[in-house]
Chain A
Amino acid sequence: MNKKPRSLARIIIPVVLTLVTIALIVWPMLAGGQYVVLDPKGPIGASQRDLIVISTILCAVIIVPVLILSAVIVWRYRDKPDNKAAYEPNWSHSTKAEVIWWTVPIIIIGILAIVTVRYTYDLEPSKPLASEKAPVTIQVSSLDWKWLFMYPEQGIATVNTLNIPADRPVKFELTADSPMNSFWIPQLGGQIYTMSGMAMTLYLQADHEGQYWGSGANFTGEHFGKMRFDVNATSDEEFENWVREVKQNSQELTQEGYDALTQPGTSNVAYYSAFPEGLFQNIVTKYVVDGNGAHSKHGSSSEAAGANQATQESNQDEDKSAN
């Protein structure tokens, strides 16, 4: 009997700690809704959130009963002298039971697989978003350790800050002039790798005006943690104003300026009124010797392939001029 207090403590401690943990997890949610992945502000993020919820529920359907079952079994068949539950030391096979627990997971995983495959095609990152409005193109390049954003249609560029019009698809074209990074704006949708030698395409859209943030998600060395940037989604009008302002009030990004940016180091936010013609393609093909960039062909879509084709053509041009 004098063992009682100890076993009580054993129950209390885990329960208290679990409650504290749960409280801490729930608290920020109440405090400010910072679960960015679960609080999407655009169609891609929203579909991904839905998919997360669907798959969680599907999994929960099977694991919650199993968790309860385990607790019940352990409790019921524990070795206590007064335990009256059945004991059958040689019972080790039941075809019926095994058929059940092979089939149940097969069914659940089957459903999940169908859902996943459907969404995989729907959410293929290079697939244009349905919208009446034409997409804005933004060319993204990850450098050590900063982001360069170029707006080819507007002719401006920024570093470590991104302005986009809300409610209009944005077509990101991405590459890297640094080790592979990953471009991620959690509230708008999932990430995509930026790799030197190839151009990737990612369509995102912000449904609402507002400020979100993005970051580099794939480790690239010393100051990779500094690669966070703000994303300002504004009305079309404000976006135009902003572009005009950048055009008027900032310097030009020259090739030398770009070369300086590629030097390892962090950077403050910067705005440029212009950038060298074809800079993005040049970054993509920078390390590629003969235009057959080693992995330029495996890109995910016709869009990406188009970008690659463009790079190959520009490369051939260069070859010609070299001759």
Chain B
Amino acid sequence: MLEGLKEFASEFFVTGDPLIYGAMVAIGITTIAIVAVLTYFKKWGWLWRNWLTTVDHKKIGIMYIIASIIMLFRGGVDALMMRLQLAMPNMDFLHPEHYNQVFTTHGTIMILFMAMPFMFGLFNVIVPLQIGARDVAFPFLNALSFWLFFLGAMLFNLSFVIGGSPDAGWLSYPPLSELSHSPGVGQNFYIWGIQISGIGSLATGINFMVTIIKMRAPGMRWMKLPMFTWSVFSTCIIILFAFPILTVTLALLFLDRFAGAHFFTLDLGGNPMMYINLIWMWGHPEVYIVVLPAFGVFSEIVSTFSRKKLFGYKSMVFAMLIISFLSFFTWAHHFFTMGSGADVNAFFAVTTMLIAIPTGVKIFNWLFTMYRGRIRMATPMMWTLAFIPCFIVGGMTGVLLSVAPADFQFHNSYFLIAHFHQVLIGGVVFGYFAGLYYWWPKMFGFQLEEKLGKWAFWTWNIGFYVCFMPQYAVGLMGMTRRLSTYGWDTGWWELNFVSTIGAFLMGVGFLFQVAQIADGIRKYKSLKASGDPWDARTLEWSIPSPAPEYNFAVTPRGDDIDEWWEEKERRAKGIYPPEQKLEPIHMPKNSGIPFVMSVFWFIAGFGFVFGWLWMAILGLAGVGICMIARSFSYDTDYYIPVDEIKRTEASLRGSV
């Protein structure tokens, strides 16, 4: 009995690596500390009422962003471990097996559990405010999406202390990811972590699409939509078509592993290349999913901080819609070397290059928004300005990769690694940082001090170039990706060493950001922000910071692209809008069901991971019960009375 238990424990928990023991201890201590603090300050009720059950899109957005930043930390530590391992030839810091787990989790976490939730966080916080809505179309579903994402991510993260992490790369090509080559539970964690959070992502896509279609303020016709909202809309289109492909692909892979199906194994008629096609039919659009909202953020910021209308609005919209469409016709550029023949390769090479055209147009439009403007160098604008050259160069190397016969030399090399990090960091991460800084006062009601932010900016940026420029070079020297060691004879070490220094500089940049935020929280009372601290242009800035839970006391109008800016101009001329009568506001009620249901999903996922059918069934039954419970709950909304609105507005506006 005891022996059996011991054996089980040694398989269940990952053992043998001091790094992992360290992490276990750290996780244990942190958990105990959190529980202790919550209990001591009697905060459990507060946590439940204000956060775990909330359906307020702003709070959900904030939770997304917090989770995402924690994941950025986790993925960043993975990155630093990899860079340490590669700093010198023949390093013995991570064994190949461990290294493989690290790059797999790094890639998966960065894309799915860092970039995606950061993006959803910005969607949530901003879109309803920008279009003058009180909430999203389906607030309950929105909370459910968040908790599905969160518990899916937690399931995935658990793998490194329990059971072992996946190690077949972030896209898990079979047969490497099949039972035959990855017999451990790591791949199951991968499948279920992504699957559960993926359902949430699909639901969010639908939710925001409907929100934007149905809930715009009166007067806000399509061509009056703020650019960030447009970018969200184009992203939702892609999500709607891409995520079902992912769901199905992973489900088939799971059937292969769990039920002995042969969709992607070669024996018995399966086909691994089918998987590679399918996963990239999702995977390529996915990179546009994460980058388009960043484009939206930049558009808002460029125009606000240049104090000028966005140049070429229609071109911008058109370019984004073309990009969402084209993104579905380029997937095969990820395997030009698979021997599909010249016709196929030529087709996909050209479709890929075509995307550079609308992207280039957007860059010109941003530049000409600044042209004849007045550029203020606040941190959101600095990140935007840093993005422009970074993305131009990263985009250019992308075009080089799309030249099919040349890609035969670039493919799977560090040149590729340098390229996609340049667009992902320079485009996506910089974009979301810019957005976070820009909307920070709107979310939290206080302004961050910029000094530490500027330090963060410079270390991140210098670190970025020091880290990734050498990688282009070492790629041309023949270094392949996912390599865990190399010899002295390769001549690669100098560049790798420099690259590692750059990675650590970025790590320092991240610490500056943490310090900046901590500093802001400490002094938040003295940093109180007005409703419109940047002198900005769109509707979200017309209400107090932070926004009251009902957002707008009276429904605004959206007759102009920069409605709030126009309104300010009108007011400066002494034209005031007619006083509107307050009316009770209809709001959705909080609900514990999304959280509980996601916990059941987590339990089901965990059961599937270990092949414990009883547990999986238990979890799924719980999910079912939650659905039934929801369908019988009729008391799902309430009204905020006029008095209360008056009181809230007075207290919020009083200090403005």
Contact = CB atoms under 8 A, between A and B. Distances in A.
Do the two chains belong together in a single complex?
yes
B409 A69 contact: no
Contact of A196 (B266, B356, B481, B485): B266
A74 B385 contact: yes
Given A21-B498, A37-B478, A190-B409, A117 B465 contact: no
Given A73-B367, A77-B375, A120-B345, A197 B357 contact: no
Interface in B263-318: 265-274, 306-313, 315
A219 B373 CA distance: 49
A24 interface: yes
Interface string B448-467: 00000000001001100110
A28 B477 CA distance: 10
Interface string A171-193: 00000000110101010011111
A215 B411 contact: no
B409 A48 contact: yes
Interface string B547-572: 00000000000000000000000000
A73 B266 contact: no
Nearest to A213: B478
A220 B312 contact: no
Main secondary structure of the interface of B (DSSP, over half): helix
Which residue among B97, B345, B368, B409 has the maximum number of chain A CB atoms within 10 Å of its CB? B409
Interface string B343-360: 001100110011011001
Nearest to A290: B269
A195 B481 contact: no
Contacts of B443: none
Nearest to A196: B266
A79 B375 contact: yes
Which one of A93, A94, A192, A225 has the greatest number of beta carbons of chain B within 10 Å? Answer: A225
A109 B354 contact: yes
Interface stretch (B6-14, B117-125, B391-399, B520-528): B391-399
Contacts of B337: 125, 182, 190-193
A97 B311 CA distance: 11
B477 A34 contact: yes
A191 to B, nearest CB: 5
B353 A116 contact: yes
B470 A294 contact: no
B494 A28 contact: yes
Given A37-B478, A125-B408, A191-B411, A221 B339 contact: no
Nearest to B373: A77
B498 A179 contact: no
B240 to A, nearest CB: 28
A109 B353 contact: yes
Q: How large is the interface on B (under 10, 10 to 19, 20 to 34, 35 or more residues)?
A: 35 or more
A72 to B, nearest CB: 10
B424 interface: no
Contact of A93 (B312, B349, B400): B312
Contact of A24 (B307, B412, B470): B470
Contacts of B270: 294
A190 B396 CA distance: 20
Contacts of B369: 92
B214 interface: no
A217 to B, nearest CB: 4
A59 B498 contact: no
Contacts of B353: 109, 112-113, 116
Nearest to B393: A63
Nearest to B473: A25
Interface stretch (B168-176, B591-599, B619-627): B168-176
B213 interface: no
A301 interface: yes
A97 to B, nearest CB: 7
Contact of A125 (B96, B306, B339, B466): B339
A200 interface: yes
Contacts of A201: 339
Contact of B360 (A27, A62, A288): A62
Given A102-B361, A106-B357, A215-B478, A89 B408 contact: no
A299 B370 contact: no
B44 interface: no
A162 to B, nearest CB: 16
Contact of A116 (B267, B349, B372, B477): B349
Nearest to A214: B478
Interface in B468-503: 469-470, 473, 475-478, 480-486, 491, 494-495, 498
A122 B538 CA distance: 53
Contact of B313 (A21, A92, A121, A191): A92
Contact of A221 (B181, B370, B410, B475): B181
Most buried by A among B340, B349, B375: B375
Contacts of B175: 179, 196
A86 interface: yes
A287 interface: yes
A66 interface: yes
A124 B270 CA distance: 27
A74 B349 CA distance: 34
Nearest to A224: B482
A193 B408 CA distance: 10
6 contacts: A66-B363, A73-B370, A190-B408, A191-B411, A287-B267, A293-B266
